[in-house]
Amino acid sequence: MHLTLRQLEVFAAVARHLSYTRAAEELHLSQPAVSMQIRQLEEAAGLPLFEKLGKQIHLTQAGSEFFHYSQTVGRQLQELDEVIEALKGVHSGHLRISVATTANYFATRLLAAFSRRYPGTTFSLDVTNRKTLLDQLASNETDLVIMGKPPEELDLDATPFMENPLVIIAPPSHPLAAQKNIPLISLQDEVFVAREQQSGTRIAMERFFQERGVTLKTRMEMTSNSAIKHAVEAGLGLGIVSIHTLELELEAGRLVILDVEGFPIQRYWYLVTCTGKRLPPVAQAFFDFLMGEDAATLMQPGNLL
């Protein structure tokens, strides 16, 4: 069977998206060009790799096998690229990093400090949700991920590098704003604006209150911490967010942190990679930087609690 790396690249893109159109957009090709590459690959294989049911395409059994091996080839080519980059040295490397939406509040600060140490490095930064981060790790689309603790059942290496306290926020005019050591049971009468179901913050929040037998009322679900902060400022309810997202609002007096029994919920930020992945030199240097004293000092959230 004769095939080309380009055909495998095009096939892998179509298989990931299950869409010729989205694969063409990712690869900056026309849709007919993508279709032609797939048709040639199917001719070389002697079997169909996709089947169309209604308007949706699906992998055939042969297509699933192709996808598995195309990912293996992709990882090996990535390792080859990393070896070549290692020969060039850290000072000219390119770092692919993806971070949870909440981590974006400090990720750019870390990258700026790192680039001052290694001015020749470049970055690709993707800010996205928890599910997409895990998908990117599974498909080897990123070197490093900064996120909350990933699921233990996945084949990932997760190294904690910074505390991530979750706090309850309210507008300064809220009746609870001036109270101290507020009992958890008092929160059952309050309405909360919460993150979406699959977010790390929502999971930690629900686990915390369920373990203590407290039921919360949620009025709205938001997909970002910025949206939650704006909703809380507007008086739509209380919110639970990472303290790292609050620097500007606390300085401006637009929000306050409530003194609630058992809070803050102590979580951590993790550096996450696929188990066994060999980091390129620039990614390893960034990993070491985050674990060092300079990064620890830079990431201090200040005396906010």
Scanning the structure block, which residue is given the tokens 């620890």? 296
Q: Within 13 A of 21's CA, how many CA atoms are on the CB side?
A: 3
Nearest to 254 by CA among 239, 276, 269: 239
The reply to whether 163-267 shares the fold of 5-83 is no
Report pTM: 0.62
The Cα–Cα gap between 149 and 63 comes to 33
Query: So what CATH class is 163-267?
Result: alpha beta
Render each residue's pLDDT in the chain as its tens digit; 305 residues.
788 888 888 999 999 999 999 999 999 999 999 999 999 999 988 999 999 888 899 999 999 998 988 888 888 887 777 666 665 556 667 889 999 888 888 888 899 888 888 888 888 999 988 889 999 998 888 999 999 888 888 889 999 988 889 999 999 999 999 899 999 888 888 999 988 887 778 888 888 988 888 888 887 888 888 899 999 999 999 999 988 888 889 989 999 999 999 899 988 889 999 888 888 888 888 998 888 865 556 655 443 44
- Sign (positive or negative) of CA dihedral 144, 150, 154, 157: positive
- Give domain limits for the chain: 5-83, 89-162+268-298, 163-267
The Cα–Cα gap between 208 and 202 comes to 10
User: Which CATH code for domain 89-162+268-298?
Assistant: 3.40.190.10
H-assigned helices in the chain: 5-17, 20-27, 31-45, 61-88, 104-117, 130-138, 200-211, 225-233, 247-252, 281-291, 293-298
For position 295, what pLDDT does the model report?
A: 58
The Cα–Cα gap between 250 and 48 comes to 59
The Cα–Cα gap between 22 and 103 comes to 28
For position 113, what pLDDT does the model report?
A: 87
For position 106, what pLDDT does the model report?
A: 85
User: What is the CATH T-level fold of the domain 5-83, as seen in this structure?
Assistant: Arc Repressor Mutant, subunit A (1.10.10)
